[in-house]
Amino acid sequence: MLSLVVLISGGGSNLRSLLEAAEDAQYPARVVAIGADRDADGFAHAEAFGIPTFTVPFTSYPNREAWGDALLAQIQGWQPDLVVLSGFMRLLPARVVRALAPNLINTHPAFLPEFPGAHGVRDALAAGVPQTGASVIVVDDGVDSGPIVAQRRVPVRPGDSEHTLHDRIKLVERQLLVQAVLDIANGTVNLEELATT
């Protein structure tokens, strides 16, 4: 059974899809703790599923490194097999990435390497592309630049707003994330190998 720590910053709908998947006894992963860099709305899902939480507020630390060290200590306290960044909107310091890699994955609302960064949906709309996508990647020390675990295309529809497009992407993202964690747990995807290719 793969143990997961999931980090969020917002509503946590991707997190919820993992919590729902893990209700099935056959699903080979369990969320052991949920962390955030702020008082995230998604903690409501933690409460609903009885999962412990921790908050490491960015603004409570003198710099990114000190914040990262505190976050890492919290994560490591749970001894997870895999850490999932699921709408976690802060860049991790390099030493945190190094400590957790390659067992550190991130979901992103674009077909990477297209539209990396904090505004993947907005940037795809602004570019006027007919399709964008969703990706799950291994985190490396760049911005959304790590090896692809899974990704799928999502069409952009005429009249889409950032909100409608993001909602359509998230439907796909949730499926990708649940499948990616399943594939990692059963060995179909090997993160060590992905990270070295």
Q: How far apart are the first and last CA of the chain?
A: 26
Q: Which residue is nearest to ligand GAR (CB)?
A: 87
CB of 34 to ligand GAR, least distance (A): 11
Q: Judged by CB under 6 A, does residue 45 bind ligand GAR? A: no
DSSP state of 183: H
Between CA 124 and CA 30 the distance in angstroms is 33
Residue with smaller CB distance to ligand GAR, 161 or 190: 161
Q: Mask of contacts with ligand GAR, 160-189, x by CB under 6 A? A: ----------x--x----------------
CB of 155 to ligand GAR, least distance (A): 16
Residue choice 93, 102, 120, 146 for contact with ligand GAR (CB under 6 A): 120
Q: Any idea which residue has 């993947």 for tokens?
A: 120
For this structure, is 108 an active site residue? yes
- Report the run of H or E that residue 165 belongs to, with start and end: helix 162-185
Residue choice 4, 6, 12, 115 for contact with ligand GAR (CB under 6 A): 12
Q: Among 74-82, 85-93, 122-130, 186-194, which window interacts with ligand GAR (CB under 6 A)? A: 85-93
CB 1 within 8 A of CB 29: yes
CB of 91 to ligand GAR, least distance (A): 9
Tell me the β-bridge partners of 54: 35
CB 120 within 8 A of CB 108: yes
From the list 132, 133, 130, the residue with the least C-alpha distance to 158 is 130
Residue with smaller CB distance to ligand GAR, 87 or 146: 87
Between CA 121 and CA 60 the distance in angstroms is 30
Q: CA Rg, the chain, in Å?
A: 16
Looking at the annotation, which residues are catalytic?
108
Binding stretches for ligand GAR (CB under 6 A):
8, 10-15, 42, 86-87, 89, 107-109, 118, 120, 170, 173
